[in-house]
Every structure is written in C-alpha cells, then in structure tokens.
Amino acid sequence: MGSELRIIDFHAHFPFGEDEWTRRIKDNYIQRFGAAKWEIVAQRSQAAQEKWWDRWRFGRPETTESSLGEVADRWYEEVQKNNIGRIVFVTGQDNTTLREVIARHPDRFIAFAHHDPFAPDAVQQLEQAVVEWGFKGLKILAPVVERPLNDPALDPLWAKAEELGIPVLIHFGVLGGGGGVASHININPLILHDVAKGFPNLTFVIPHFGCGYVRETLHLCWVCDNVMVDTSGNNEWMRWMPEKWTLNELFQRYYETIGPDRIIFGSDSSWFPRGFAKRYLDDQLRAVGELNWHPKDVHKVFYGNAARLLKIGDTEE
C-alpha cells in the first residue's frame, strides 16, 4: 500500500498573492468596524497562527517574493519528489492566475475556478474557465459568501456546473484557525440540502470531513448520494468538538455511512517552505492501515475517486 500507491491530491492552494476571499473578509470588516480594529483582530489571528505553526513544527511561510513561474516550478518539483500523480489547486489568487499555473505544467497541475458565485457573470466565468482554460471544478468558501447558498439566484450556476460535468467543492464549517470565522449564514453544510437534491447529477464535495460539522455532513451525505467528502488538512478541529474524535474514527464513521466511493484524499497544502504536507498523507495512510481497509478501498480514496470526478484517466486498480 505504501510506495506503490498512486496519489491524487484533490485539495491544495497555490500560494501566490492575496486571493479575493481574503480581501473580502478584510474589506467587509473594515467597512463595518474600521481599520484600527481590523489591525487588532489581524494581530491576534497572526499570534494564533504562529502557535499552530509551532505545534506542527512547520516553520514560518516564506516572505520573499517569487515570480509566478518560479512558484509553479517549485510546486512541480514538490509533486515529483513526493510521487503525487496530480495536484488540484482549488484557489490561487484568481482564475487567470491559475490559468497560467496549469498551462506551465499541465501533466501534473489541475485547477478549479474560485470566483464569487453571485457575480453577475459567474456562470460565464465558470464556463470560460472550464471550456476554454481546461479547469475541472468549482471551489466555493461558504463562510465568505454573503448570501445564502440555497438562494435560487444560484440555480443557473449549479445548472451550468451540472451541464459541464464538473464537481463543486464547498468549504463549510470553521474557516481558518484561531481568529477565523466560526459563525456565518453558510457555516452549516445542511444549507446545501435543497440544492443537492435539486441538482442530483451534480457532485458536491465537502472538504475536511465537514470541518466541525460531522453530524450535519453525515446527514447530508445520507440523504444526498451526490455529496462526497474530502479528507484534507490536519483536521485539528477535532480538538474543539464536544465529543472526542480521532482521525481513525472519522475515516471509519464516513466509511460505514457512505462507503469508500465517496471519500477523497486532499492535503490542503499551500505555502513554502512546507510545500506538500506529507505529514497529513502519512497520518491518513496510517489511519486506514490501522483500520485494515482493503487495498482496493484505499486506492479509491487516494486516487480512483478523484480520477473519476476529474476525468483524467483510469480509475481502476
């Protein structure tokens, strides 16, 4: 299962510039509460982030500026070094940036569109990204979108994604670590209930096992078989739950509820010098190993399911 296992990383972030979502959080806060208070919040969030980096011994993200091509080439070396067959960048400053990134290394890089779903031209942006630029999915950060995701105004966007045959990855639950977002109109994945039922041929993927909303995510998956989960990140949110969770328990609960065909590996990798978060991959492989999963099921989670959704090749072992 170890060195011979093929890997697709379904969830990574290309570390270049400030993305639209980060700008939106900052701008909205400043508009309501002022720049001085934003500085206080940002400093406290930074302190919490630094404690997290220290706990995981990841060091600090590099502050030296590099060109887009240099960062792309560095990531290409990273996926080769770690034997990652394909890596999906679900964000990366904006869609045009990711267009350049995947064009530079199309044999390993895949991109998802990640623009404002309520933008007047959101449908056109998605179609252009997929049809003209070769993108293979749509990513939405639910706790940043200002209107509810079950708003009928988004039906044309869901319909276009369904027509294009691409998956839609939506982050629900806590966004960021200490100082992040924990309360929002779109924080709960159950807001997707009517949408997932209304577009049964559209696959939705909820990352991080639901990021604190395990019960709600399991309920949604139980009634909507077009909803999947990804395993990305360190899933540290388990520490904040009223009930005790371990990574092994998460894998097993989802396996028992939705089966191995609806679970997808992701790392949530982004910045350098950490690069590919191999520790997360190792932890997850150890978990399924300790659970004695059949090798065919392990293959589905770490390669086959993503290959099927992304239409990039064979999905069998």
As a whole number, mean pLDDT of residues 262-277 equals 96
Cα(171)–Cα(143) distance, integer angstroms: 8
How does pLDDT run across 129-176, given as a tens digit for each residue? 999 999 999 999 999 999 999 999 999 999 999 999 999 999 999 988
As a whole number, mean pLDDT of residues 235-245 equals 92
Q: Is the dihedral of CA 83, 88, 94, 98 positive or negative?
A: positive
pLDDT band at 314 (very low <50, low <70, confident <90, very high): low
pTM for this predicted structure: 0.95
**Domain ranges, ordered by start, for the chain:** 8-310
Packing angle between helix 35-56 and helix 20-33, nearest 10 degrees?
A: 140
Residue 82 one-letter amino acid: N
**CA 236 to chain CA centroid, nearest Å:** 15
The predicted pLDDT at position 144 comes to 92
The predicted pLDDT at position 63 comes to 84
The predicted pLDDT at position 1 comes to 44
How does pLDDT run across 118-131, given as a tens digit for each residue? 999 999 999 999 99
The predicted pLDDT at position 28 comes to 87
The 10 Å Cβ neighbour count of residue 308 is 18
How does pLDDT run across 184-216, given as a tens digit for each residue? 999 999 999 999 999 999 999 999 999 999 999
Percent of the chain with pLDDT over 90: 82
| Domain 8-310 sits in CATH 3.30.365.10 | no
Percent of the chain with pLDDT over 70: 97
- The full 3-state SS of 165-191, as one line of letters, equals CCCEEEECCCECCCCCECCCCCCCHHH
As a whole number, mean pLDDT of residues 39-57 equals 89
How does pLDDT run across 53-93, given as a tens digit for each residue? 888 888 889 888 899 999 999 999 999 999 999 999 999 99
Higher-scoring residue by pLDDT: 178, 110: 110
